[in-house]
Structure formats: C-alpha cells, structure tokens
Structure 1
Amino acid sequence: MIKINIEMKKGHYFSGIFIAVFVGIHLLNHLIGLGGIKEHIEFMEKLRVYYRNIFIELILLGAIIFQIFSGLSLFRTKIKTANSSFEKIQVWSGLYLAVFFSFHIFAVVFGRYLLHLETNYYFGAAGLNIFPFNLFFLPYYALAILSFFGHIAATHSKRMNRNFLGLDPKSQAKIMIGTGFLVTMLIFCAMTDYFKGVKIPQAYDVLIGKYGILLGK
C-alpha cells in the first residue's frame, strides 16, 4: 500500500507538470485577449495545430483523468494531516481543481461534439458576460485560476529548499499566489472587454438562453 501511494504521488506530480504547462499556455491565450478578441482567437488557432492532434488530446485527457482520481485519493489521505496554511491550500485547491476539471472537460466535449459549437473565446466568455449566469461563472473560473496558482505555490513551498533573490520558499510561494490574483483579474478584463461586456454571437444562445442580461452593452 505504501509503495502504491509513493508511485501515485510520483505519477500525480509528473502528470501535474504536464498539465500545468498546458494550463499555463491556455491562460496565456486568455491574457492575449487583453489585446482584443481577434488576437485571442488567432493565437488559439495557432495553438490548435498542436494540441488538437488526436494523440496529444488523448495524452492530455489521460493525464487529467489520472490527476483527478489520484488527486481525490491523495486528498483523503492528506486532509487528515494537513496542518500548515500551505498544506491546507494544497489539499483544498487540489480538490477544487479535480471538480473543475471534471466539469470543464464535460462542458467542452458537450459543446464541441454534441452542440457543435466552436469552443473558442465566445464559448468561455458567454457565461461571464450574461446576467445572472455570471454570478456562477465568475467565482467558478476565479477559484479555478486561484486554485491552479495556489496548488503550484503550495507544492513549491514544500519542494523548494533554497532562497531565490533573497526570498525564502514561503515568500516565493506567496508571490505566486499574488500572481494568481493578478492573472485572474486580467483574464476577466480580457473576457469581458474590461468589464464593459462582450456581445455573444447568437449561436451560443443554446448555452445561456435568450433571457439573460448582457453586461454593459
């Protein structure tokens, strides 16, 4: 049992690195949206040449599924021994990411293959720009981004054993979490046209209905 847990932790760690690279690029794509919707979609189209490859998609999907199940297993173990702030951040952010990935993958697959929607900028922006749906999607996405940075920060504080630029590992981790808050706000600016509201194409009415209130416009 101990050997299985050790192997699971290793697998969780390395699959997490692979997923973190993808998520980091995905967040960068959203940040590019600060320059406009066109720029966001153009950058996404360039990336899709690589990650829409069936083999890459299967590897990524497999890594995420393993991450979810191994994460839930590790949560049940670590929640009993988590004492420090970063240990608690690690287990609770991991739990939220497991839930988020489960829902997010389902939503993308459902939208792409069953609703035949283009899962681009507008697919993600639809819920953020329409009231009352944004009351759910704003915290839903905010917690996902913050959990991503929080999970990495907590892991970093545990594994890092030396100072960097005069900062100890815990201070470095705090900066990572602060960066997460900044990135969250910037992405919301990009996905809502700086909170003025983005007009969502009619094709996405199937997601948000026709009775929501468009923010700002």
Structure 2
Amino acid sequence: MVNIWVTGLFMESLHKVSAGFVFAFLCLHMANHFVGLQGLDTHIAFMAVARMVYRHPVVEMVVLLAFLLQMLTGWALAREIWMKKKDFVHQLQAASGAYIAVFAITHVAFIFYVRQLVAVDSNIYVIVAGLMQSGWMYALIPYYGLAIFALFVHMGCILFDIFKKSLRPVSWGLLVTTVGIGGYATWLLMMFYTGHTAALHVPQDYFDLYPLIRMK
C-alpha cells in the first residue's frame, strides 16, 4: 500500500513538472492560433517569430520529452481515477487528458509526415486545407474542435483542484467559466478556419495532402 502511494505521488509530481514545459509551449501555440483570427498572413508572421523559440533543437527536444512524460504519467493517473471511480471532476479531467494525449500523438505524427516526408511547410494551411473540404471536414472539425475544448476543460479541472479545499464556490466558478470560454474559443476558431468568417486562400499544395476523399 505504501509503495503504491509513493508511486502515485511520484507520478503526480513528475506530471506537474512536465506540465510546466507543456503549458509554456501551449500558451505560445494557442496564442499563434488566436492571432490568426486577424488573418492567416498575421498568423504566419507570428509563427515565423515563435518558431525561432520552439523549433530550436534543444527547446524542441525538451518540449517533446515533456509531452511524452505528460502522456505516460497522465495515463497512470487517469487509470487510478477510473479504477477508484473518483468524483465527476476527476473523471472529466482524466477523459479530457486522455483525448489530448491521443490528439497529440496523431497530430505530431501527421505534422512529422508533412514536414519531413512531404517537405511542405507545416503551418496553419495544413489544418485549414482539411477543414475546408467537405470530404474531410466532418472528421476534422470534431477532431480539432474537441482538442481545443478538451484543453480548456482540463485546465478548468486543474483550477478546480487548486481551490476546492479553501474556496469551494470559487473553484466551481473557475471550472464553469473556463469550460465556457473553451466552448466559445472552439467555436470561434472552427468558424474562422472553415472559412465562415473570412475568405481564406490556401495554396494548392496543402489541398493535395488530402487526396483520398477530396470533393471536386
């Protein structure tokens, strides 16, 4: 019993440490997306500057390692939550974390394919090209939309956990507010990246990444 408790405590500590690096990257990454609401050209310009930071070989390796640790320790913590059948907020935290992990693995794999094997710049056009095609959008809108929403839900659960012992009403307020903001942010980005709020002009090379069910 003591060994299990120590192991769980170690996993939680490691999860929190790696979360700091992941959170810093995600703040920069999501800022890039929200800047994109001013136009894809603005997004590309911001990304060129941001890449000077997160594409530095050392930084990139640290971030990837942090993501790996997050997924490994997160799985152990989520498994404990499900086995012990903890409360609703813990279940929500585990479920959102699990989806973020699945998304991270598949998204990084796809970006690696685009960047290394196809040799196309892995910018926002990679996502927009898929979201703007009726053959792919039905799968990609929930795929990307749930990832954004899950990120806010997970953060809301963390804020709830921080304040639940000392300020219980505040903790619920932070959870509901964060989830609400996440829903709005998800809708806003999905509307923009599907071309509903502004005309988007995507180079043909990016549409060619989705050949199997492309609608002509």
CA RMSD of aligned residues (A): 2.0
Instruction: Quote how far apart the aligned CAs of 1:114 are.
Output: 0.8
C-alpha distance in 2, partners of 1:30/1:211?
26
C-alpha distance in 2, partners of 1:129/1:205?
9
Which one is further off, 78-87 or 91-100? 78-87
Residues 153 and 174 in structure 1, CA contact (< 8 A), matched pair in contact too: yes
> Which residue number in structure 2 is paired with residue 184 of structure 1?
186
Q: Number of residue pairs matched? A: 212
Secondary structure at the aligned position of 1:208 is classed as coil
Residues 129 and 197 in structure 1, CA contact (< 8 A), matched pair in contact too: no
The alignment's TM-score, normalised by the length of structure 2, stands at: 0.90
C-alpha distance in 2, partners of 1:57/1:168?
36
Amino acid at match of 2:28: I
Instruction: Quote how far apart the aligned CAs of 1:163 are.
Output: 4.6
Matched, 1:153 2:153: no
> Which residue number in structure 2 is paired with residue 46 of structure 1?
49
Q: For 1:166-205, list aligned pairs within 5 A.
A: 168-194=170-196, 198-205=200-207
CA deviations 1:174-212 (Å, max 9, x no partner) are: 100101011111212332333566343121244212862
Residues 132 and 195 in structure 2, CA contact (< 8 A), matched pair in contact too: no
Q: Flag structure 2 segments of 5+ consecutive residues without an equivalent.
A: none
Q: 1:211 to 1:151 in 2, by over 3 A?
A: closer
> Which residue number in structure 2 is paired with residue 141 of structure 1?
144
C-alpha distance in 2, partners of 1:91/1:197?
38
Whose helix fraction is larger, Structure 1's or Structure 2's? 2
Q: For 1:1-217, list aligned pairs within 5 A.
A: 1=3, 2-160=5-163, 161-163=165-167, 168-194=170-196, 198-209=200-211, 212-213=214-215
C-alpha distance in 1, partners of 2:190/2:207?
21
Residues 30 and 191 in structure 1, CA contact (< 8 A), matched pair in contact too: no
Residues 130 and 212 in structure 1, CA contact (< 8 A), matched pair in contact too: yes
Q: Percent sequence identity over matched residues?
A: 27
Q: 1:191 to 1:30 in 2, by over 3 A?
A: same
Amino acid at match of 1:183: A
C-alpha distance in 1, partners of 2:121/2:153?
30
Amino acid at match of 1:175: T
C-alpha distance in 2, partners of 1:21/1:213?
38
C-alpha distance in 1, partners of 2:212/2:82?
43
CA deviations 1:128-152 (Å, max 9, x no partner) are: 1111101011000111111111111
Q: Flag structure 1 segments of 5+ consecutive residues without an equivalent.
A: none
Instruction: Quote how far apart the aligned CAs of 1:127 are.
Output: 1.3
Q: 1:163 to 1:78 in 2, by over 3 A?
A: closer
Q: 1:78 to 1:210 in 2, by over 3 A?
A: closer
The alignment's TM-score, normalised by the length of structure 1, stands at: 0.90
C-alpha distance in 2, partners of 1:101/1:196?
28
Q: 1:175 to 1:82 in 2, by over 3 A?
A: farther
C-alpha distance in 2, partners of 1:211/1:197?
23
Q: 1:135 to 1:197 in 2, by over 3 A?
A: farther
